[in-house]
Chains A and B, each alone.
Chain A
Amino acid sequence: MNRFAELLDRLVLTPSRNGKLTLLVDYFRSVEDPDRGLTLAAITGDLNIAAVKPAMLRTLVTERMDPVLFGYSYDYVGDLAETVSLVWPQTPGNIPNREPTLSEVVAKLQAASRSDGPKVLAGLLDSAGISSRFAIIKLVTGGLRIGVSARLAKQALADFGKVDVAEIEELWHGLSPPYAALFAWLEGKADKPRNTALALFRPVMLSNPVGDGDLEKLDPADYAAEWKWDGIRVQAVAEGDIRRLYSRTGDDVSGAFPDLADAMNFSATLDGELLVGDPREATRSFSDLQQRLNRKTVTPKMQQQYPAFMRCYDLLQIGDEDLRALSFRERRGRLEAFMKTLDPGRFDLSPFVTFTGWQALEALRRAPPHPIIEGVMLKRWDSPYVAGRPKGPWFKWKRDPHTVDAVLMYAQRGHGKRSSFYSDYTFGVWSGPEGEEELVPVGKAYFGFTDEELKQIDKYVRDNTVERFGPVRSVRADRDNGLVLEVAFEGLNRSTRHKSGVAMRFPRISRLRWDKPAKEADRIETLQALLDR
């Protein structure tokens, strides 16, 4: 248990992706089955343990210690799980010779009934040290929140076994904790597990951005063009009684889209874009789609207000026939025929963009016919469907980003290589009536600048600090003083969480405007106009 606890503690404080991968790979290497598999399940959210409510935890602890002292402690720490793990009184003489293993803990928790759950939990907490108590409480209260996605965990597995992450993704949904067969394969001790489960995920084919000079070398006649829709790339798989909607990294998101799943009355694997609206009438904005994302369940009202549909790009399988080795042209033909059998309120075909040459396409890319289009996709007519991001067959050619001139307001120290640099910037634009303008924060960015520019901004931050809060510095920013940053971003969402009412997608610093006076930075209305388009 303490190895698991130590891993959680390290992961939560390690900001870099590579650092997390190293920690995970080392863990998989040094910890045996079934503990490593249960850890993996805990991280990917595939471990089923009956939840304990926070109120129950509080009751358990105040039965064992003075409530006033607990109150002081909780006020100080601010996190219930952490407080309980620290103050839990250990009765001397009751401490076992060794801590329970993760698998022992999981077995006890899974065997506990609703009525004896609290007693089982208390017994486990009695038998564990501080770090392990914290880990146990995290397991029973749900949500580890350690900054490791299922995707990252799968990448760590791939690194551990030196295989392609697509192989892990393809296998994943047929496997279950503690994944002994998977680990045995990754360690070279057994063959790759055979997958017999239905409606499995097929690793997705991705594209590369069009780089400078790329197109000159290509013949437009070799490529089909489609619009690049601003939704969520999904894969719809129906086989037998099983219907699943996967994200492009193989996470099962079906639970949030019962309306779409209901319409999947076929036996096939479709690749496409998840969008909100009715394809026969209107394709709605990404903001609307966001209402439906990251939910475990969804109300009928939500489904009615924000109906989901799929704009289909490709057909990977139909019945028992795997189409992935066919050319895009052939697959597209099959897709067009197949579309006729689907509910037109839930599925439509991604239309081609007809073009004569790259210049003509460039003009179309710059002025797309619909606001939910974020560029064009180029697909070689003869390309088979392959996992990953091969260079050549598919390209994305994105619309130019939006930009705004904003003023630097706060800077935060980075991590690792950047731990002595102020490298994370919060910036704002002007708001309020003339003469009483104030800056409202509209976003945060931590890349887009060169190392040299980072040094310059860092110096500026240190020289113009007005206030410090821990690792954050508030920077002088008013009508006459301030550093203007040109910020590029992909789109704007409405946000109730931010004072400005907007949230940027993928913001980055595109230019430092040392030349521009702070008062000439943009106003919030400029951004709002973008929202209303």
Chain B
Amino acid sequence: MRASDLLHPRPEGLYCPPGDFFIDPVRPVNRALITHGHSDHARSGHRSVLATQQTLDIMGLRYGEDFAGTTQAARLGETIALDGVSVSFHPAGHVLGSAQISVEHQGMRIVASGDYKRRRDATCAPFEPIRCDVFITEATFGLPVFRHPPDTEEIARLLKSAAQFPERSHLVGAYALGKAQRVMRLLRDAGYDKPLYIHGALARLSEYYQSQGIDLGILEPATVEGGKQDFAGAIVVGPPSAFADRWARRFPDPISCFASGWMRIRQRAKQGGVELPLIISDHADWDELTTTIKETGAEEIWVTHGREEALVRWCELEGIAARPLHLVGYEDEGD
């Protein structure tokens, strides 16, 4: 069978005709397999959803318990048969609960990786490369300019700045699911044991991470009860949008920080008014992308959401068949 008979794009998302299911559909469908809980991949309103328990929990937190007709939890590494198609979930290292989905039928195996990274991350299980015929890779940072530094160095810069400017507060913009908890955990691992202040949008997800055994230390709401002086020297974590908002006025002369792979590009930091860019990403950088492609042993690579052309070019130079897979509706919420 041809690979495109096993999986191909439809307006709703990536579709598997023999198994009659979609992977990360952007519109409500009958049967959806979800790689991870970011809102552009995990939407509500499907009749049935198959995902890891943690992804299901996260969807429940974001959309309410009735986000789908029925749900089924996929255990990592366990094979599930769907109309004769063998499906299995494997850790993707992107955020808590994130998984790659392997789809196998009549000797053809395709791995849809969703979003992934290869760096160690104490807040989720590490990526496992899966041998396959076709590997579907993301390309959010699919340009040779994207080379993420070690996250410990970035956190060290944040802590150094906090020591240099003790009279100011540091506002760290980080997406509510995954990045925020990773930043908090990295701060703890670096020995920072003061309370971290969080924006309300992070509260429930952070609490969920803690319930899953990921220790984030003492988190306190960044509320204004005690007046401005309380936040001098504080590290505050919140969604990036909140820092441009009137919400941020409670902090004394804040230094705006943003934890994202995009911060690699100075102009991006400048345009966003970011004073301390922290290059911390939950997506694979260029070297991780190319290493992973080789490790899967795949003969064909499908490249999706991001800068497809550079990765396709790299595959050509390496003698690996590659093409862009045009899927609509994915943004880079996770970074």
Task: Report chain A residues within 8 Å CB of B266.
Answer: 9, 12-13, 79, 82
Q: Quick check: B248 and A471 within 8 Å, CB to CB?
A: no
On chain B, the residues within 8 Å of A23 by CB distance are 164
Residue contact B164 to A22, C-beta cutoff 8 Å: yes
**CB-CB contacts of B240-269 with A at 8 A, as 1s and 0s?**
000111111100111110000000111101
Tell yes or no: A302 within 8 A of B by CB: no
Q: In the complex, are the beta carbons of B272 and A86 less than 8 A apart?
A: no
A420 & B246 in contact (Cβ 8 Å cutoff): yes
Query: Is the Cβ of B145 less than 8 Å from the Cβ of A87?
Result: yes
Q: Is residue A399 contacting chain B, with contact meaning CB distance below 8 A?
A: no
B23 at the A interface (CB under 8 A): no
Cα–Cα distance between A471 and B268 once the two chains are bound (Å): 11
B244: which A residues are within 8 A, CB to CB?
A: 413, 419-420, 471
**Which of A1-59 touch B at CB < 8 Å?**
6, 9-10, 12-15, 19, 22-23, 26
Answer whether residue B276 sits at the interface, using C-beta atoms and an 8 A cutoff: yes
Q: Which residue of A lies closest to B149 (CB)?
A: A130
Assembly CA distance A66 to B316 (angstroms): 11
Q: Does B314 contact A (CB under 8 A)?
A: yes
Number of residues of chain A lying within 8 A (CB) of chain B: 37
Contact of A22 among B165, B256, B264, B271 (CB under 8 A): B165
Residue from the set A65, A66, A420 with the largest chain B CB neighbour count within 10 Å: A420
Interface assignment of B317: CB less than 8 Å from any CB of chain A:
yes
Beta-carbon contact of A83 and B145 below 8 Å: yes
Query: Which residue of the partner chain A has the closest CB to B266?
Result: A82
Q: Is B309 an interface residue (CB 8 A)?
A: yes
Residues in A neighbouring B92, C-beta threshold 8 A: none
| B253:A130 contact, CB within 8 angstroms | no
Cβ distance A96 to chain B, nearest Cβ, rounded Å:
18
CB within 8 Å of B: which of A46-81? 65-66, 68-70, 72-73, 76-79
Majority secondary structure of chain B interface residues (helix, strand, loop or mixed): mixed
| Nearest CB of A to B49, in Å | 35
Task: Tell me if B329 counts as interface (CB < 8 A to partner A).
Answer: no
Whether A73 lies near B143 (C-beta < 8 A) is: yes
Q: List chain B residues, Cβ under 8 A from A13.
A: 266, 269-270, 274-277
Q: B247 contacts A72, CB within 8 Å?
A: no
The interface residues of chain A lying within 8 Å CB-to-CB of B313 are 66, 68-69, 72
Tell me whether A415 and B243 are in contact (CB under 8 A): no
What is the minimal beta-carbon distance from A100 to any residue of chain B, in angstroms? 18
Asked whether any CB of chain B lies closer than 8 Å to the CB of A333, the reply is no
Q: Are A86 and B147 in contact (CB under 8 A)?
A: yes
Contact B269 A87 (CB under 8 A): no
Judge if A370 is at the interface, Cβ distance under 8 Å.
Answer: no
Docked pose: A66 CA to B265 CA in angstroms: 21
Does B310 touch A at the CB level, under 8 Å?
Answer: yes
Whether B157 contacts A6 by the Cβ 8 Å rule is yes
B144 contact set on A, CB distance < 8 A: 65, 69-70, 73, 86-87
Whether A419 and B270, one on each chain, are in contact in the complex, defined by CB atoms closer than 8 angstroms, is no
Q: How far is the CB of A502 from chain B (nearest CB, A)?
A: 27
A143 to B289, CA, bound (A): 35
A421 to chain B, nearest CB (A): 8
Chain B residue with minimal CB distance to A13? B275
Are A420 and B164 touching (Cβ within 8 A)? no
Q: Are A419 and B273 in contact, with the CB atoms below 8 A?
A: yes
Establish whether residues A10 and B256, one from each chain, have CB atoms under 8 Å apart when the complex forms. Answer: no
> B213-244 vs A: 1/0 string, CB under 8 Å?
00000000000000000000000000000011
Select A72's contact among B143, B246, B253, B255, beta carbons within 8 Å. B143
A371 at the interface (CB under 8 A from B): no
Cα-based distance from A66 to B264 in the complex (angstroms): 21
Closest to A90 in B: B147
> In the complex, are the beta carbons of A72 and B147 less than 8 A apart?
no
Decide: A471 and B145 in contact? CB cutoff 8 A: no
Instruction: Report whether B147 and A415 are in contact in the complex, using a CB–CB cutoff of 8 Å.
Output: no
| B307 beta carbon closer than 8 Å to chain A | yes
The interface residues of chain B lying within 8 Å CB-to-CB of A419 are 243-244, 248, 254, 256, 273
| In the bound complex, CA of A14 to CA of B275 (Å) | 6
Query: Which of chain A's residues 417-431 have a Cβ closer than 8 Å to chain B?
Result: 417, 419-421
Determine the residue in chain B with the shortest Cβ distance to A419: B256
Question: Are A415 and B165 in touch, CB under 8 angstroms?
Answer: no
Is the Cβ of B276 less than 8 Å from the Cβ of A10? yes
Contact pattern, B 303-335, Cβ under 8 Å of A = 1, otherwise 0: 000010110011001000000000000000000
- Nearest chain B CB to A284 CB, angstrom units: 38
Q: Give complex CA distance A77, B248 in Å.
A: 30
User: Residue-by-residue, is B161-197 near A (CB-CB < 8 Å gives 1, otherwise 0)?
Assistant: 1001100100000000000000000000000000000
Question: A: which residues have CB within 8 A of B?
Answer: 6, 9-10, 12-15, 19, 22-23, 26, 65-66, 68-70, 72-73, 76-79, 82-83, 86-87, 129-130, 413, 415-417, 419-421, 470-471
Starting from the known contacts A19-B165, A416-B255, A470-B272, 10 additional A-B residue pairs (CB-CB under 8 Å) come to A13-B269, A13-B277, A15-B275, A66-B313, A76-B307, A86-B264, A130-B147, A413-B244, A417-B254, A420-B245
* 21 chain-A/chain-B pairs, Cβ below 8 angstroms: A6-B157, A13-B266, A15-B275, A19-B255, A19-B275, A65-B144, A66-B313, A69-B313, A76-B307, A77-B145, A83-B145, A86-B264, A130-B147, A415-B275, A416-B168, A416-B253, A416-B275, A417-B252, A419-B243, A420-B244, A471-B273
Q: Which 10 A-B pairs have the closest CB atoms?
A: A420-B248, A86-B145, A470-B271, A87-B144, A417-B253, A72-B310, A73-B145, A416-B253, A471-B273, A13-B275
